[in-house]
């Protein structure tokens, strides 16, 4: 199966539609699928739900889609660096489902493994537990409450990887792996942008983080500009 497409628009052709649920990898601006997000913005699809750790920053990452009002709901963990996100949420324009970071990663992983739900202690007794089923299980300290969290089954997964071979086996680079791996597994269709594609056999089998069976389409997105969320410097020391 030929998985490599010439560009992001071609890779998403026939996949995008209004109202779909998209799982997106990335953490802040680290490991975000920039080219695919740009193509989604250019397509004009709307009423999207994104499952993503955060929404990028203002006008970067998913933040671009917030500016164009293409996102109606976010399933996220951390959203503190996006003023437009804050404005839309507080004004009631954007629906937000807050989810603890570890729970969000596990919800994606569970969806990828075909697991519809799981119980966790995280969020018990907080607003996170509102409306969720609660069960009591024996824990190390005796009976304890756990809440039911549902696996995420996305219509589309968009992720960023470092290297891929022609069959779609992926290697992520250091912290850029973040949510990309669980996000990739939980989509009905997984589209990946990579920095480099090598022939089959060009990746060390022990260094493959995601098997190609999860990947349907790929593009080469390089070169990339390195964007920094916060520039922290110190004053130059003088003699």
Q: Is 166 exposed, middle or buried (0-12, 13-18, 19+ CB in 10 A)?
A: middle
Over residues 177-233, the pLDDT tens digits come to: 999 999 999 999 999 999 999 999 999 999 999 999 999 999 999 888 777 776 788
Task: Name the pTM for this structure.
Answer: 0.92
CB 170 within 8 A of CB 197: no
Kindly indicate the confidence band of residue 1, based on its pLDDT and cuts at 50, 70 and 90. low
pLDDT of 104 over the 70 cut: yes
- Which domains does the chain carry? 8-115+152-220 (3.40.1080.10), 117-150 (no CATH)
């Amino acid at each position: 199966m030929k998985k490599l497409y010439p560009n992001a628009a071609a890779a998403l052709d026939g996949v995008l539609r209004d109202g779909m649920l998209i799982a997106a990898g990335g953490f802040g601006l680290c490991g975000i699928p920039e080219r695919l997000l740009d193509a989604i913005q250019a397509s004009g699809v709307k009423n999207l739900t994104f499952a993503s750790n955060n929404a990028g920053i203002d006008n970067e990452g998913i933040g671009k889609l917030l500016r164009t009002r293409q996102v109606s709901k976010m399933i996220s963990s951390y959203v503190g660096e996006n003023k437009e996100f804050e404005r839309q949420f507080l004004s009631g324009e954007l629906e937000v489902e807050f989810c603890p970071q570890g729970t969000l990663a596990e919800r994606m992983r569970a969806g990828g493994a075909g697991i519809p739900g799981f119980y966790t202690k995280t969020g018990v007794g907080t607003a996170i537990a509102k409306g969720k089923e609660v069960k009591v299980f024996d824990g190390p300290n005796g009976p304890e409450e756990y809440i039911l969290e549902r696996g995420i089954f996305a219509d589309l997964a968009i992720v960023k990887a470092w290297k891929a071979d022609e069959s779609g086996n992926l290697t992520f680079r250091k912290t850029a792996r973040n949510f990309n791996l669980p996000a990739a597994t939980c989509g009905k269709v997984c589209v990946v942008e990579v920095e480099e594609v090598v022939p089959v056999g060009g990746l060390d089998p022990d260094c493959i983080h995601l098997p190609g069976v999860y990947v349907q389409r790929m593009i080469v997105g390089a070169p990339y500009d390195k964007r920094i969320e916060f520039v922290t410097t110190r004053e130059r020391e003088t003699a």
